[in-house]
Structure 1
Amino acid sequence: MSTSTVFTAAVRGIGVEFICVEADISNGLPVFHMVGYLSSEVKEAAERVRTAIKNTGLEYPPKRTVVNLSPATIKKKGASFDLPIAVAILTALGKIPKKTIKDKLFIGELGLDGRLLKVPGILPIVIEAKEMQVKTCIMPKENAAEGSLAGGIEIIGAESLKEVCMYLNGESIFSTSLCSGGNRKKHQMKETLDFADMQGQEAVERAAEIAVSGGHNFLLVGPPGSGKSMTAKRMATILPPMSLEESMEVTKIYSIAGLVDTKRPLIEKRPFRSVHHTATKAALTGGGLVPSPGEISLAHSGVLFLDELPEFRKTVLEVLRQPLEEKKIEINRVHGNYTFPANFILVAAMNPCPCGCYPDMERCVCSPVQIQNYLRKISQPFLDRIDICVEAPRVTYEELTTKKKTESSADIRERIVRTRRIQKNRFLESGMEIYTNSMMGIKETETFCLLDNEGKNILQQAFETMKLTARSYHKILKVARTIADMDESENIHAKHLREAIGYRTLDKKYWGR
């Protein structure tokens, strides 16, 4: 009888749990039995591992094999346990010395011919392994570039189970090194979209700049062809560059979702996720028995674009209310609770009525009831979470054919970077982990959004006249703070406040609430 223990890891939400793979080989009926709260794809590993070992050219005697994945309280899913199971069995059989698997973590899927296939979630696993003082991670070669992003830990990228066995037996030397963060060279991608392409929507462009500068949620209302989608898509070109920490966090999310580019694993550009109106709640928030990231998490640190907003099912839109406030999504399952980051800018676009022509009553063919039913698909609680509402009017022929030069995305982005730097420095000096004005809570709003007597009178009048909610009140203050930062003004003046209030009048115009 012989036993062995190999270490691996599993992703749970955005966190990582270390798994101990124990293999026991003994005399008895030739069975392969696996235990440890396993999903169907993990149970299927028995056949993959047994066949891979045979096709690698290694002898697998007909003995009783028991494999345990502990702790047994954690649900195991995925095919990433194949390699550690195979190494544990081969070590128990004496094909691999026990001393060579010490301080090593194994992860990877096996093909029936013994090839190692890439698996998702490598980056968070390697980062956590480094924290746990693991010295070496052995994984599929296709995952090696991604794993090397963690830095400070030896990464072994193997193509097959045979290569892993040769390495552990000292018969093969891989070209490895203690990685210091992998290849982080910036890859300049030429933008095909630019705000310079737009004509006649200066007010909309101004609102878009404010939204990105302060990280504010943004709603565009206007007839078809007025440039709503055009504006939203170009907002991706004015997002500020990501810091290394932000890039790593976004890459971790995409790694768990299996969306990392094998050749350029580090995500250097802020995400822009455009979601179709047929999307389900699970597609937005993340779904599955063990949830994986949904669209709102894939948009973390970037933009989530919802076109044709009223066409989304109301229940789908309502699930956005919590993450829009808390900048994260919590998913509860029988097997545990999962938290994913969801700090994104929501950009939404919609027509004012089913035909899109309201309030031009000469062209609108919708009845008042149809218009109200259409607008009623957007609830007041959802509207309260929108910081900036702006109307995109129909573009005239003169505006389309004018030779007037408009600002490029590069020029706008330069101003946004400067504004964001002002915000970041302000909050850093106060010892707060806040990066944009939209992230401020009530206490921070009271501290950094002070008004003079004139401003207080203006806001009081707007609050009473427009029947604002407490949430809308704080949204106005945050937007006014951003507009003041764009002017490099330490104080919020009346003009900043009036402009911020103006971005709350559109929902009153259409929804009357």
Structure 2
Amino acid sequence: MLIKTFGSAVQGVNAYTITVEVNVGAGTKYYVVGLPDNAIKEGEQRIDSALKHYNYRMPRQKVVVNMAPADIRKEGSAYDLTIALGILSSSGQMESGKLSDYIIMGELSLDGSLRPLKGVLPIAIQARKEGFKGIILPEQNAREAAIVNNLEVIGVSNLQEAVEFLDGRRAIEPTTVNTREIFDNTADQYAADFADVQGQENIKRALEIAAAGGHNVIMIGPPGAGKTMLAKRLPSILPPLSLFEALETTKIHSVAGKLGTAASLLSTRPFRSPHHTISDVALVGGGSVPQPGEISLSHNGVLFLDELPEFKRTVLEVMRQPLEERRVTISRARTSIDFPANFMLIASMNPCPCGYYNHPDKECVCGPGIVQRYLNKVSGPLLDRIDLHVEVTPVTFDQMTSTRKSEESSTIRERVVDAREVQRVRFEGFDTIHSNAMMPSQMVKEICRINEAGITLLKTAMERLGLSARAYDRILKVSRTIADLAKSEEIKIEHLAEAIQYRSLDREGWAG
């Protein structure tokens, strides 16, 4: 008897439906066709053991399982429950009436219990899109799937519960989640706040500018100056996530298996801080089954690279294209997958191997040329994509012991949101440009016009400070953001002067 059940496969951050056809007939042996991988083929033993545990029988006949479309490779153990229910129905051990109403997914243990899955959110979205009544899956994943409205989410803990539900012998209340309420209640709840930071007012100002314009930042300073502490607080001043951005970010984390069983929706901007020993594949994504990397996990948030020169050169260079295109393309022989990667890059580094070059109190012990060689570990093309270069100096004792309360992140965020609204109106007619940092060169000339006094100042600065040609566009973009924060339609000379300060690494002779 031929029975059809439905599962789902995740490719990139999207899912597509898999039709699992099961036929039990005359003959012997168990066959799985339709390009299954070893995990699916090995499922025969798991299914057999799970069925016996609940006093069902594995048919001692010819069992053919076809996974369509047959020209796409199927991977993973999440089809165990789909196939098991198809076998029970095809062999007459359960009713088949409701099988076609649901997407069914779950990995079986030998005792018939279900293990949690990855990528449940895109599966649920696709199920609703294709008109399925609901989805049957492990109860640990039910809250995640329930983010999708107008879809019946049935969480089950074992094979027996799934069979009894489909047979009508057990009533299971669908899992429901009020997505809007969760989003509103948990949005912008950050553990770290700029109010905790004493001193470093110039660095806070630079990070505010970066947040307002979507600019990438590199902080250069000695150990213990507060670079990491400041970077961790950057998400708290970024504009709040919209519900669409939250769903998009949650999909990526779902595919990567980074959501906990109690989590349902990411409502705060992600902050990712990979170790400097990370590989290029782990950073940008990839693998035999392409998975999102750290730059995609930081989509709509912040990617922090601490001790930038310590990262392998190849790792840093693979970021150049994603920084420009805001997405990553993983190409394989049979397919090409896109992962979104719209993130802010925040990097930090010591000015030299010992860490004390240009330190106000401690002497640098690095030999001649060592400082320049250390800085040269970071390539010019990568620095070209970083708008703000900020020198971080250590906090004095008086600043650390001051009782003066620092400005809270919520206050800074209000100014950032106002500046982003100006940019939203400015770039309303452009689909791929949402902030000043995204402007191409030709647009910079039109939008970042400066008067004669500004041209003179910029020319003088470039000549006296030895600024490179690549600094020109960056200075204009940053000055446009500073003007937006000041609610000024024109870029004034003081905005330009402040932007020039943020090009430390472009100055000739900065490292001797």
TM-score band w.r.t. shorter chain: over 0.9
Find the counterpart in structure 2 of residue 494 from structure 1: 493
Does 1:7 find its partner at 2:6?
yes
Deviates more, 1:53-62 or 1:78-87: 53-62
Match of residue 340 from structure 2: 341
Cα offsets for 1:102-139 (capped at 9, x unmatched): 23211111111111221010101111221122221111
- Name the amino acid aligned to 1:43: K
Aligned residue in 2 for 1:225: 224
| Corresponding residue of 1:365 | 365
In 2, distance between residues paired with 1:200 and 1:287? 42
Deviation of 1:360 (Å): 5.1
Q: Give runs of aligned pairs for residues 1-80 of structure 1, distance below 5 A.
A: 2-29=1-28, 31-80=29-78
Superposition pairs of residues 129-140 of structure 1, within 5 angstroms: 129-140=127-138
Alpha-carbon spacing, 1:288–1:432, altered in 2? closer, same or farther (3 Å): closer
Change (3 A) 1:474 1:39: farther
Query: Structure 1 residue 252: deviation in Å?
Result: 0.5
Give distance in 2, aligned partners of 1:77 and 1:399: 57
AA of the residue aligned to 1:245: F
Code of the residue aligned with 1:157 in structure 2: it is G
Aligned partner of 2:420 in structure 1 is: 420
CA contact (8 A) 1:13 1:290 kept: no
Cα 1:113–1:511 change in 2 (3 A) is farther
1:125 counterpart residue number: 123
SS of alignment partner, residue 99 of structure 1? coil
2:477 corresponds to 1:505: no
Report what 2:325 is aligned to: 326
Between the aligned partners of 2:363 and 2:113, the Cα distance in structure 1 is 64
- What do residues 357-376 of structure 1 show as CA deviations (whole Å, max 9, x unaligned)? 11359711111232222111
Asked if 2 retains the 8 angstrom alpha-carbon contact of 1:151 and 1:182, the reply is: no
2:242 and 2:509 map into 1 onto residues whose CA distance is 40
Task: Give unpaired runs (5+ residues) of structure 2.
Answer: none
Number of matched residues? 509
Q: Match of 2:273, SS?
A: strand
1:376–1:155 Cα change, 3 Å = same
Please list every run of 5 or more consecutive structure 1 residues that lacks an aligned counterpart in the other structure. Answer: none
**Amino acid paired to 1:197:** D
CA distance in structure 2 between the aligned counterparts of 1:136 and 1:22, rounded to whole angstroms = 19
Deviation at 1:462, TM superposition (A): 5.0
Are the structure 2 counterparts of residues 188 and 320 from structure 1 closer, same or farther at C-alpha, using a change threshold of 3 Å?
closer
- Please give the alpha-carbon distance, in whole angstroms, between the structure 2 residues aligned to 1:315 and 1:166: 54
Contact 1:149 1:182 in 2 (8 A): no
Task: Give the partner amino acid of 2:156.
Answer: A
Q: Secondary structure at the match of 1:10?
A: strand
TM-score, length-normalised on structure 2?
A: 0.93
User: Following the alignment from structure 2 to structure 1, what is the Cα–Cα distance between the partners of residues 395 and 181?
Assistant: 46
1:174-213 residue pairs with structure 2 within 5 A?
174-176=172-174, 181=179, 184=182, 185-187=184-186, 191-213=190-212
Q: 1:182 to 1:124 in 2, by over 3 A?
A: farther
C-alpha separation in 2, matches of 1:189 and 1:436: 21
| Contact kept in structure 2, 1:375 and 1:511, CA below 8 Å | no
Instruction: Assess if the C-alpha contact under 8 Å between 1:34 and 1:46 holds in 2.
Output: no
- Aligned residue in 1 for 2:384: 384
1:177 Cα offset (Å)? 7.3
The answer to whether the Cα contact below 8 Å between 1:153 and 1:179 also exists between their aligned partners in 2 is no
State how far apart, in whole Å, the 2-side matches of 1:324 and 1:511 are. Answer: 26
Residues 226 and 102 (structure 1), Cα distance of their counterparts in 2 relative to 1, 3 Å cut: same
Q: CA deviation at 1:203?
A: 1.0
- Contact in 2 for aligned 1:81/1:108 (Cα 8 Å): yes
Match of 1:239 in 2: 238
Determine the C-alpha separation between the residues in 2 that align with 1:193 and 1:136: 39
- Report the CA distance shift for 1:443/1:131 in structure 2 as closer, same or farther (over 3 A): farther
Secondary structure of residue in 1 paired with 2:257:
coil
Task: Give 3-state SS (helix, strand or coil) of 2:186's partner.
Answer: coil
Q: Using the TM superposition, name which of 116-125 and 409-418 deviates more.
A: 409-418
Is 1:107 the counterpart of 2:105 in the alignment? yes
Amino acid at match of 1:285: V
TM-score, length of structure 1 as denominator length = 0.93
Question: Are 1:148 and 2:185 matched, yes or no?
Answer: no
Q: Secondary structure at the match of 1:5?
A: strand
Q: 2:171 matched to 1:173?
A: yes
The structure-2 alpha-carbon separation of the partners of 1:182 and 1:509, relative to structure 1 and needing over 3 Å to count, comes to: same
Deviation, structure 1 residue 204: 1.0
What secondary structure does 1:368 align onto? coil
- 1:218 CA displacement: 0.6
Aligned-partner Cα distance in 2 for 1:483–1:48:
61
Matched AA of 1:371 = V
Q: Is the 8 A contact 2:468 2:506 kept in 1?
A: no
Asked if 1:468 corresponds to 2:472, the answer is no
Identical-residue share of aligned pairs (%): 44
- 1:325-371 per-residue CA deviation (whole Å, 9 max, x = no partner) reads 11111111223211111111111111110011113597111112322
Question: Structure 2: how far apart are the matches of 1:510 and 1:44?
Answer: 63
3-state SS of 2:291 partner: coil
Q: For residues 187 and 384 of structure 2, what CA distance do their matches in structure 1 show?
A: 38
Letter in 2 for 1:288: G
The change in CA–CA distance for 1:150 and 1:469 in structure 2 (over 3 A counts) is farther
Partner AA of 2:271 in structure 1: F
Give yes or no for the alignment of 1:356 onto 2:355. yes
The CA deviation at 1:180 is 6.6
Q: Deviations over 1:276-295 (max 9, x none)?
A: 11111121112321111111
For residues 296 and 90 of structure 1, the distance between their equivalents in structure 2, rounded to whole angstroms, comes to 44
Tell me, yes or no, if the aligned pair for 1:285 and 1:296 is still in contact at 8 Å.
yes
Q: Which amino acid aligns with 1:63?
A: Q
Report if the CA contact (8 A) 1:219-1:390 is conserved: yes
